[in-house]
Amino acid sequence: MVRFESVGLRYGMGPEILRDISFEILPRSFQFLTGPSGAGKTTLMRLILLSLKPTRGIITLFNQDAKTLGKDAITALRRRIGVVFQDFRLLDHLTTYENVALPLRVQGRAESSFRAEVVELLHWVGLGERMHVLPPVLSGGEKQRAAIARALIARPDLLLADEPTGNVDPPLARRLMRLFTELHKSGTAVVVATHDLTLMDRFDSARRLVIADGRLQTYE
């Protein structure tokens, strides 16, 4: 699904912040991406999303070499990936419903064709009563769930979640993680970036990708 081979990244003439990164994300797999703050977890996720170009190495996404992809092909691949950003990145002038429906709307689908689906998902993540509300009015946990719902609405093959439990209390964090594991069971490959060791210990069977000093180690 995603394969990195000796990928390196540097900004400008600076030092390499990611060095010789090699790993593979298999379909229907579940893994944590971890490491200290500033180690490059978000950067690695941006590389997977092809919003950054590596300075060296090969990135293969859904069996396609990223170097050969044009903008339309990148867009098509991104539609197969759901992303939960650390800072949620909800559009403040759109309601919760509109934010969650966004990935379907940009595909050009008619609103009537996905309305029920979006409303159902909003209820599933516990935001059924908050669908008319604008994001500035939502609490941190509600924003997090709205961001997760947006990432899930298009039924992605791969879910990237950047610190999804970073802004919520432990009970809600556990609830969100259960949501990810349910999603994993339904066939989606999941990558959760976190530096919360306690959380990872609760899901001991999950693979761990650990970034430190610009290098990545995999623990099966």
Partner 1 sequence: MRASRNDAASGGALKRNMPLVPADSIAGRALVTVIGIMTFLAAFMVGVGIMIHGASREWTDSIAKEITIQVRPSPNRDIEVETEKAAAIARATAGVAGVRIFGKAESEHLLEPWLGTGLDLGELPVPRLVVVELSNAANLNAADLKDNLRARVPTAFLDDHRLWMERLAAMAQSLVVLIVVFLALVLVSMGLAVAFATRGAMAGNKGIVDILHFVGATDRFIAVEFQRHFLRLGLRGGAIGVLLAILGFSLFETLSSWWARSPGGDQMEVLFGTFSLGWIGYAITISIGGVVALLTGLVSRIIVFRHLRGFE
| Smallest distance from partner 1 to CB 118, Å | 8
Distance CA 39, CA 77 (A): 26
CA atoms within 13 Å, Cβ hemisphere of 17: 16
Based on the shown chain and the rule CB under 8 A, indicate whether residue 98 belongs to the binding site for partner 1: yes
- Of 78, 219, 99, 83, the closest CA to residue 161 belongs to 83
Instruction: State in angstroms the smallest separation of the CB of 210 from partner 1.
Output: 25
Structure tokens at 132: 């008319």
Residue 210: which H helix or E strand, with range? strand 207-212
What one-letter code names the amino acid at 68? T
Considering only 6, 27, 36, 51, the residue that binds partner 1 (CB under 8 A) is 51
- Using the rule CB under 8 A, is 91 a contact of partner 1? yes
Helix-, strand-, coil-residue percentages of the chain, each rounded to 5: 40, 25, 35
Residue whose C-alpha is closest to residue 79's, from 6, 154, 1 = 154
Output 110 or 204, the one with its CB closest to partner 1. Answer: 110
CB nearer to partner 1: give 75 or 139.
75
Closest approach of partner 1 to the CB of residue 195, in Å: 22
Query: In the stretch 164-203, what mask flags binding to partner 1 with x, by CB under 8 A?
Result: ----------------------------------------
Q: Which one of residues 154, 168, 209, 211 is an interface residue with partner 1 (CB under 8 A)?
A: 154
Strands 81-84 and 30-34: unpaired
CA angle 127, 133, 139 (to 5 degrees): 65
In the complex, the smallest distance separating the C-beta of residue 120 from partner 1, rounded to whole angstroms, is 5
Q: Using CB under 8 A, list all residues that contact partner 1.
A: 49, 51-53, 71-72, 75-76, 78-79, 83, 85, 89, 91, 93-95, 97-98, 101-103, 105-108, 111, 115-116, 119-120, 122-123, 128-129, 131-132, 150, 154
